[in-house]
Amino acid sequence: MSVKLVHTKKTNTKKTPSKTKLQKSSNLINREISWLKFNERVLEEANNPHNPLLERLRFLAIADRNLDEFYMVRVAGLKNQLELNIHHTSHDGMTPKEQLDAVNTKAKKLVAEQNKTWRKLTKELGQHGIGIVQPARLNQREKLWLKNYFSEQIFPVLTPLAVDPAHPFPFIPNDGLCFVLKVNDPEGIVHWSLIPLPRNLPRFIPIGKNGKRFLKLESVVSEFLDDLFPEFTIKDYGLFHLIRDSEMAIEEDSEDLIETFKMALQMRKQGEVIRLMVNKEISDDLLNFVVDELEIDRQDVFRVKGLLNLDDLAELILPQWAHLQFPPFTPRIHERFQAFGGNCFQAMQKSDVLLHHPYDSFRSVMDFLDQAAMDPNVLAIKQTLYRTREDSPIIKSLISAAEAGKNVTVVIELKARFDEAENIRLAEMLESAGVHVVYGFIDFKTHCKLTMVVRKEGRRIRNYLHMGTGNYNPTTAKIYTDISLFTANQELCRDASKLFNYLTGYAKPHHLEHLIISPIDMQAKLIEMIEREIELNRVTGVGRIWAKMNALVDPVIINMLYKASQAGVQIDLVVRGICCLCPGVPGLSENIRVTSIVGRFLEHSRIVCFGNGAELPSPTADVFISSADWMPRNFHSRVETLIPILNPKLKKELLEKIMSGSLRDERQSWVLQPDGNYQRLTHNKDAFSVQDYFMQPPESPDPSPSAPKPKGRKKSRLSLV
């Protein structure tokens, strides 16, 4: 299979330095600690009594999974720095060792809080007749059923593994749940053994006709350990769950990128153990055995009072208990597409269209690809894919288009973390159908989201473009808030053509008319716009910046925001996750306010607004949507887009509805304090929720008229917390 690579050494650009010195480390919040605080906010939703019970269970499972992935990647990176004797400090001044110590201390408290939450939820589930029971509590008929179930469904897939000089300690896969045992043979000789619990077995086994009682898999296995070791005596046993390093290193001189990634995925499965979680009751004897065999540090051991691997609780969120979940929500088809009978090309010829997912259906994005595949006038389709699904209608449309003879080019990012294997399968599937598959850059990730359709209309060629803040994934599009822009603006289309040439060839784009791109000039352009706002504030007394993103980490941009605040520019930021900026610090950032929205939907859209010398919202503002967060990797290690909204009506919608609503939100918002902690804005269940607002019919009144304009950092604003 041929592989096309773009060698970035020919197109690489220098990083743009700040025009002022970076602030001292004390003025930055540590990235890792900020992420853990985000996960605390997710866990708080599991304790929020205003959320339906099973949704609280879902938040708990998400928090646990988030923490696992944090250890797989971020903590693994810190440990690798120590092993390589790298002692560079983070932007906030902490060494890798200091960060590891701080992370482990905070994470252990978080794990304890997670299980405290699980015990609380267990009681509330019991009030609805839903419970986790022990085998000893079953009646005789149920015990007989369980014995048959174990014999037929569980016993055949379990594999006890001896550990002795002739049988080395076996490999336990990442995210593995495993028993460790000490047993005596008939002669009284002590033996060690392991029983890995296969991931393809259900963690929670329903019992009884009403389907409300469950047995834990580990409880069932422990009940029948004697069946696994006949004639042996079980002296001691315990349970552990481990997490391995899941970072991947790809060599720049790889001749076949697909094969290189396949090998790297295999190596990931065998990564170093970076965290071991054990049940609190495990004996020191068993624990010492596992720790010594895995060769891990004691600080990486977490004793858990409760359930290991809470991520599996998602199995209990079943359709028959819909009354314990969020009410169903059906996304709407945008009125512009409805007006043209769903014909995307006709709608885009008339005007640009802006969708706000998941409130506006992702179906329109899929229709755009499907119609392009079937339209005999379409000559070519170009698309970037970062995360999607093998069974996605988008993949089917691309294959149909290629089979119909259209020129289809897809840039697939193999380095999309934890989706690498899926993307390899997609690449091979698309190539076999005749799609031109390009894997982009070796040392950059292609993270921008765009699709361009080239269509012949009479004697002219016209381009149609979709650009967005989210992935082409119909599953996550139901739960992530994102922005989609459909446009036939030929200036933007020309820019997109140059960007695709950059991704598929060697041509660095020059003379772009509107589009701003990383790694070329996005950071520099943002700095220019912040400095312009500073100058406008000096001249007019009005400087305003609104921005919404997932993460704010880049110290250069943070330094510029501090500079703008010191110059009197009023800055309102909605940062869902990591934020390394300290707001509200006198003399530094007293004009900056940072909130985080954590709710039913994952806030994922990136929006940037500059007042341009006027109060926001304003028709003269400069408004952008983006695929990029404000992180060093997004500016220097990824291909990203910053997309201007040129249509006045769409600009107004973004400013007066989406951004104003996000800034006005109270019910799901947390306010970042100068010390790096977050405080919930309100516990009032009737307070304004931006997510609830957008789930209402589109004729609902705008959120902005009754919302206070986020001008300065008035005490009344901060006193709400």
- Beta-carbon count within 10 A of 366 CB: 18
Of 580, 578, 541, which Cα lies nearest the Cα of 561?
A: 580
User: In angstroms, rounded to a whole number, what is the distance separating the alpha carbons of residues 663 and 675?
Assistant: 21
- Beta-carbon count within 10 A of 716 CB: 7
Read off the amino acid at residue 181: L
The question of whether 88 is a catalytic residue gets the answer no
Of 616, 620, 624, which Cα lies nearest the Cα of 704?
A: 616
* Residue 399 and residue 383 in contact, taking contact as beta carbons nearer than 8 Å: no
Contacts of 469 (CB under 8 A, 6+ apart): 449, 482, 483, 484, 604, 605, 606, 607, 625, 626, 627
Of 593, 538, 546, which Cα lies nearest the Cα of 568?
A: 538
* Residue 591 and residue 568 in contact, taking contact as beta carbons nearer than 8 Å: yes
Identify the residue whose tokens are 């992420």.
Answer: 35
Q: 177: which 2 tokens? A: 């749940």
User: In angstroms, rounded to a whole number, what is the distance separating the alpha carbons of residues 709 and 663?
Assistant: 9
Measured CA to CA in angstroms, residue 279 lies from 221, 234, 276 at distances of: 15, 18, 10
User: What does the DSSP 8-state code read for residue 344?
Assistant: H
Three-state secondary structure call for residue 385? strand
Measured CA to CA in angstroms, residue 675 lies from 105, 554, 564, 625, 700 at distances of: 18, 19, 20, 30, 38
Catalytic annotation, pick one of 241, 356, 357, 447: 447
User: In angstroms, rounded to a whole number, what is the distance separating the alpha carbons of residues 456 and 285?
Assistant: 74
Count of alpha carbons within 13 angstroms of residue 553, beta-carbon side: 21
| Residues paired with residue 445 on neighbouring β-strands, in sequence order | 638
* Residue 662 and residue 481 in contact, taking contact as beta carbons nearer than 8 Å: no
User: In angstroms, rounded to a whole number, what is the distance separating the alpha carbons of residues 351 and 345?
Assistant: 10
Identify the residue whose tokens are 């997912």.
Answer: 357
Contacts of 715 (CB under 8 A, 6+ apart): none
User: What does the DSSP 8-state code read for residue 20?
Assistant: S
Measured CA to CA in angstroms, residue 158 lies from 178, 237, 536, 541 at distances of: 11, 16, 69, 72
CA-based radius of gyration for the chain: 27
Measured CA to CA in angstroms, residue 325 lies from 36, 431, 686 at distances of: 26, 41, 19
* Residue 525 and residue 559 in contact, taking contact as beta carbons nearer than 8 Å: no
Identify the residue whose tokens are 């041509």.
Answer: 507
* Residue 238 and residue 286 in contact, taking contact as beta carbons nearer than 8 Å: yes
User: In angstroms, rounded to a whole number, what is the distance separating the alpha carbons of residues 556 and 574?
Assistant: 19
Identify the residue whose tokens are 């086994």.
Answer: 205
Q: 89: which 2 tokens? A: 């400090």
Of 485, 487, 494, 581, which Cα lies nearest the Cα of 530?
A: 581
**Residue 326 φ then ψ, to 5°:** -60, 145
Active site amino acids: 447
